[in-house]
Structures are given as structure tokens and as C-alpha cells.
Structure 1
Amino acid sequence: MSEQQSNRPPEPDPEARKRANRAALKYGAARLGLFLGLTIVIQLLALLIGAPVPLVMSALFALLIAFPLSMLVFSGLRQDATAAVAEWSRQRREHKQWIRNELSQR
């Protein structure tokens, strides 16, 4: 291997970035969908029992329920997103470290 090839910077994989963005978007959309669904269910239940609840209160209650529930229900999506973002971050860190090393040698 020549000196030029061994000294090449580790480039972050653009596909890793796409995977990280896609996984984070899927997880975020799933959590948002759960929140909106719970808000609608709470509003409908309130109307069915004849005790109208302000939308803000329903949304706050849905938020309190959706946060821990999403951690359980969407654990696979959360783990995929975490792994994809961690891989992208590792690649970026390696690239930045290579740049720092190159600059310190000049």
C-alpha cells in the first residue's frame, strides 16, 4: 500500500447518514402517531361519557401516557434509531480525529 493510500481520511458513509435519518424519522413519526391517537381516543371517551374535556387537557394527558408507552411499544424502532445514529456519530468522530491528527502534524 502506498503512502498516499494509507493516509486517506476515513470518510463517513453517506448511506449511514441516510439510515440514521430514516430510523430517527420512523421512530419520531411512530411516537407522534401514538400521541395523536391517544389524544383522539381521550377526546372521544370524554364525549361518550358526556364530560367534555378541553383539547389541551386531553393532549397533556395523552403526552403523559404516550411517553412511557412509546418506550415499550416502539422499543425495536428506538433501538434501530439509536444504533444507526451511533454508527453515523462514530464515523464522524473518526473523520474529525483524522483531521485533527493531520492538522497537528503540520
Structure 2
Amino acid sequence: MNSPEAPQLDPEVRKKANRAAVKYGLARLALFIVLTVIIQVAAMLIDAPVPLVMTALLALIVAFPLSMLIFPKMRVEATESVAAWSAQRKARKQWVRDELSRR
């Protein structure tokens, strides 16, 4: 059997992907929380109490596009690192499929 060497999964690529995704996720979560607080405080200052659920929904709607404008480097880094990890996993899975099909 003359099979090529199995592609190895680089644990550093996985760590980088996890780190980048968590960093971007936490930044987006912080933005959502800050927007919720700002909207709630603004509503209280103008003496127009708004339920927290409504404030959170408004903050969520605003935070989605705003996070793409505020954190573009984090988003690109997370996307690229997850894509690199995914490519490694796909190569490994394809190698396993090829090995199993030869048997």
C-alpha cells in the first residue's frame, strides 16, 4: 500500500481560530450591552420608561450592522482563521475518505 502521509491538523491554527472567534464574539456582546445601557439611560433621562426587553431588541438591531463597521479587522481575522482551520479539517476528512475507499 503506497498511501500518502495523512494531513496533520495544526493545533495552533485551531487555537488561533478559537481565539479570534471568541474575541470578535465578546466585542459584539460588549457592544450590545453598551448600546442597551445607553438606550435605557436615554429613555430614563427623557422620562419615557421603556421595557428592558424592548431596549435590548433595539440594541440588538443596531448592534448587528454597527459591529461590522466598528470591528472590521476582528471580523476578517475571525473569518480567515476559521476558514484556515476548516480547510485543514476538510483535507483530513478527504484523506480519511480516500483511505477508506481503498480498502
Aligned to 2:5, which of 8, 22, 26? 8
Query: 1:13 & 1:47 partners in 2: Cα distance?
Result: 51
Deviation at 1:40, TM superposition (A): 0.2
Please list every run of at least 4 consecutive aligned residues from structure 1 whose deviation after the TM superposition is greater than 4 angstroms. none
TM-score normalised according to structure 1 size: 0.92
Residue 77 of structure 1 pairs with residue 74 of structure 2: yes
Structure 2: unaligned runs, 5 residues or longer: none
Paired residue total:
102
> Could you tell me which of 60, 63, 68 is aligned with 2:60?
63
Q: Which residue of 2 aligns with 1:30?
A: 27
Q: Secondary structure of the residue that 1:10 maps to in structure 2?
A: coil
> C-alpha separation between the residues in 2 aligned to 1:18 and 1:62?
31
Q: Which is worse superposed, 6-15 or 49-58?
A: 6-15
Deviations 1:49-106 (A, max 9, x none): 1111110110011011100100111111000000000000000001111111111111
TM-score by length of 2: 0.95
Write the letter of the residue equivalent to 2:23. Answer: K
Determine which of 41, 51, 70 is the counterpart of 1:44.
41
Shift of 1:7: 2.2
Identity of aligned residues (%): 62
Shift of 1:23: 0.4
Q: Unpaired segments of 5 or more residues in structure 1?
A: none
Residue in structure 1 matching 2:14, options 8, 17, 21? 17
- Root-mean-square deviation over aligned CA pairs: 1.1
